[in-house]
């Protein structure tokens, strides 16, 4: 079996990370509910969700957070998968039809550690997730 060599881009302070943009659909939310076992009606039942403060179904927060992790994997590859760390806050809800964009920038590179600010926003600029990510580059 041939081993594949991974090319990881080197990032410096203030460099932007590769952007990941996805559209949230009810089908994606439903599939995530099945995969995770989280069948909360807030995510799955439009009639029930319409009676809540959200006024309709919303995506699971971890589904949105997965786009941040996809961005970090795109940027740092296996290093992110082996030992990346996130410290985030959920700030808003993503709804079916929203286009969400995960973005970030490097804030510090020191001693093999890269620290980034990360976020995910919807198409109107509302912050859905924000926080910090760290990855060791060896």
pTM of the predicted model, to two decimals?
Answer: 0.89
Please name each of the domains of the chain with its CATH number: 20-24+59-136 (3.10.129.10)
Q: What is the pLDDT at residue 77?
A: 94
| CA 70/CA 52 separation, integer angstroms | 30
Closest Cα partner for 113 from 129, 127, 88, 133?
A: 133
DSSP tag of 108: E
Q: What is the pLDDT at residue 8?
A: 58
In the predicted model, residues of the chain with pLDDT beneath 50 are 1-5
Q: What is the pLDDT at residue 7?
A: 55
Q: Is 12 exposed, middle or buried (0-12, 13-18, 19+ CB in 10 A)?
A: exposed
| CA 52/CA 50 separation, integer angstroms | 6
């Amino acid at each position: 079996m041939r081993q594949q060599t991974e090319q990881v881009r080197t990032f410096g302070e203030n460099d932007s990370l590769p952007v990941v943009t996805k559209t949230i659909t009810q089908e994606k939310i439903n599939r995530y509910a099945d995969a995770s076992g989280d069948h909360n009606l807030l995510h799955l039942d439009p009639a029930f969700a319409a009676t809540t403060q959200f006024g309709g179904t919303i995506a699971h927060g971890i589904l949105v957070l997965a786009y941040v992790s996809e961005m970090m994997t795109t940027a740092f590859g296996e290093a992110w998968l082996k030992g990346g760390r996130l410290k985030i806050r959920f700030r808003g809800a993503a709804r079916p039809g929203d286009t969400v964009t995960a973005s970030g920038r490097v804030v510090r590179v020191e001693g093999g550690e890269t620290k980034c600010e990360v976020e995910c926003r919807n198409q109107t600029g509302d912050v859905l997730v924000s926080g910090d990510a760290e990855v060791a580059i060896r």
